[in-house]
Structure 1
Amino acid sequence: MNSALVLLIIVAAWWVLCQRYQRMHIALLGRHLSSLQLERHMETLTQGYTRAIHEADEARQIQVLETFAQTERAVAAQVQSLADTMQKESAQATCMGALSFCVPYAEYFLPALTRDFRSLLRIHATGLRHVVDNEGQWNAKDRAYQLSAELYLLQHSCHWYCKSRNVADARLMLRHQVKYQKVLESVSAATRSAYTQWLRNAHKQ
Structure 2
Amino acid sequence: MDTYLLLIVIALGAFALKTQDQRRRIALLGSHLQNYQIEHLMESLSDGYLRALDADDPVRREQVWGLMAAKEVDLNAQFQRLAADIGRVEPAAARVSTFPLAIPFADRLFPAASFPLREAFAIHARGIDRAIQNADGLDPKAKAFRLSAEMFLMQHTCHWFCRSKAVASARLLARHKTTYEQVLAAVSPDTRRAYLALIGKA
TM-score exceeds 0.5? yes
Deviations 1:55-77 (A, max 9, x none): 34455333312211111011111
Amino acid paired to 1:191: T
User: What is aligned with 1:121?
Assistant: 121
Within 1, Cα distance between the matches of 2:108 and 2:138?
44
User: What is aligned with 1:108?
Assistant: 108
Deviation for aligned residue 1:82: 0.8
Amino acid paired to 1:180: Y
Residues 42 and 75, structure 1, Cα contact 8 Å, conserved in 2 = yes
TM-score under structure 2 length normalisation: 0.95
Amino acid paired to 2:138: W
Amino acid paired to 2:118: R
Alignment of 1:53-202 (within 5 A): 53-200=53-200
User: What is aligned with 2:46?
Assistant: 46
Unaligned runs of 5+ in 1: none
TM-score under structure 1 length normalisation: 0.93
Within 1, Cα distance between the matches of 2:152 and 2:108?
30
SS at match of 1:200: coil
* Larger RCO (alpha carbons 8 Å, 6+ apart): 1
Stretches of 4+ moved more than 4 A in 1?
none
Unaligned runs of 5+ in 2: none
Identity %: 38
Within 2, Cα distance between the matches of 1:127 and 1:3?
51
Deviation for aligned residue 1:38: 1.0
Residues 62 and 140, structure 1, Cα contact 8 Å, conserved in 2 = no
Deviation for aligned residue 1:85: 0.8
SS at match of 1:96: strand
Q: Number of matched residues?
A: 202
Deviations 1:126-156 (A, max 9, x none): 0000010010100011001111111111111
Deviation for aligned residue 1:33: 1.1
Within 2, Cα distance between the matches of 1:38 and 1:57?
30
SS at match of 2:115: strand
- Superposition CA RMSD, Å: 1.5
Amino acid paired to 1:145: F
Does 1:30 find its partner at 2:52?
Answer: no
User: What is aligned with 1:19?
Assistant: 19
Deviation for aligned residue 1:176: 0.6
